[in-house]
Amino acid sequence: MLSYSQPSYQKQDKGVELNPANPSYHPVQAPGKNTTAKMAANLAGSSPYKLWNFTTDSVIRCVHCHGDYRLATPAAPPAGNARLAPHTSRYRGLLMNNLRDRVLKPKDEPYAAADFALCYQCHAEAPYVDKSGDPRSDTNFPFHGMHVVDIKNMGSGGTSIDTPGDGQGNALCSECHYRLHGQGPNARGNPSGDRLVNFAPNVTANSNGDLEWDGAQRSCSLTCHGVEHNPKQY
């Protein structure tokens, strides 16, 4: 919590977030809990920023995300165990690559891979640019691409991820995956805490007062970018 009023700026306890007893987390302390074939294919796929092909059995290091940005070179990726110490970075949060996670996309701004370069160091890009909504082998959520590249005119709110009701263009990863390190049960809109689904403050309840992702039912009840999900199924 500490000093900042906007939730996206607040500092969290990494020991709590990354605890392997949590329902979901980036696998720093122990391998992760998403062992689906689609998760495996997602990590094996390519992207313009790809550095490493981790697997669902991998353990990763803080410096794979908070690492030396000068070594983020897909043509000659550093070894997984390389010295990546982050004494400085051109990217916020001593991140190894760019990540847009606070300023929402204004209406009509197109998708750009560079906004999510950090994620694409390890995750494939293809699932996030397929706007068809058809099932794919490399994601359990076939509407990833639709949200990230194909809602550029939806909503009339502002562009702060911390303001309820904001959102007017293509979505950011962090609107649905708000805290990246890990989470216990009762993440926002996610009682199970699974899959790092955690809705940002700009996402609000629907007209029934529901704000929930239900992983078992594969459905969402909420309002986002002016659109009510009451619920919507995938």
Q: Which residues contact 165 (CB under 8 A, 6 or more apart)?
A: 157, 202, 204
- Find the shortest distance in angstroms from Cβ 186 to ligand HEC: 16
Of residues 91 and 158, the one with the C-beta less far from ligand HEC: 91
According to the binding rule CB under 6 A, does residue 33 interact with ligand HEC?
A: yes
C-alpha distances in Å from residue 93, one per residue of 11, 88, 218: 11, 9, 33
- Using CB under 6 A, which of 197, 200, 211, 222 touches ligand HEC? 197
Smallest distance from ligand HEC to CB 100, Å: 9
Using CA atoms of 57, 55, 127, 118 in order, give the dihedral in degrees to the nearest 10. Answer: 100
Secondary structure (DSSP) of 174-202: GGTB--SSEE-S-BTTBTT-GGG-B--TT
Rounded to an integer, what distance in angstroms lies between the CA atom of residue 189 and that of residue 148?
Answer: 20
Among the listed residues 118, 161, 187, 211, the single contact to ligand HEC using CB under 6 A? 118
Q: Which residues contribute to the site for ligand HEC (CB under 6 A)?
A: 11-12, 14, 18, 24, 26-28, 32-34, 38-39, 42-43, 54, 56, 58, 60, 62, 64-66, 92-93, 95, 99, 101, 116, 118-119, 121-123, 127-128, 139-141, 144, 147-148, 171, 173, 175-177, 180-181, 195-197, 213, 215, 218
